[in-house]
Amino acid sequence: MTGTVSVVVTTVDEAAGLEAEAEEYPDERGEILLEAAEAWRRAGRSDRARELLARLIREGGDDGCSARFTLARATSKTAGLTRRTPSWSGWLATRR
């Protein structure tokens, strides 16, 4: 059980760090927030991940489009609409 707690704490720290980093690098903000959303999801904080994705969607542009796609994939997976859904980070890696 200790290993699980450690991983979650590390992921929460990673997610929070990414959010702070997004403010330091405004030109890469959207991409960094997408990574932060993935980290929040891995930490079991889907609510926070969805908040970040919703913010990016409202802001529009390419990052908003990516966030909309990510949210749709996560929603379809949660609803059992897909058999195989790649992780957000796997999808993000194909976008670079």
16, pLDDT greater than 90: yes
From the list 40, 35, 48, 44, the residue with the least C-alpha distance to 5 is: 44
Answer whether 40's CB lies under 8 Å from 61's CB.
no
Domain coordinates of the chain in residue numbers? 2-94
Q: What's the pLDDT at 27?
A: 92
Q: What's the pLDDT at 74?
A: 80
Q: Which two tokens stand for residue 26?
A: 């405004």
Q: What's the pLDDT at 14?
A: 92
The residues, any chain, with a CB within 8 Å of residue 61's CB and separated by 6 or more, are 30
Answer whether 19's CB lies under 8 Å from 36's CB.
yes
What pTM does this model have? 0.70
User: Which band of pLDDT confidence, cut at 50, 70 and 90, is reported for residue 65?
Assistant: very high
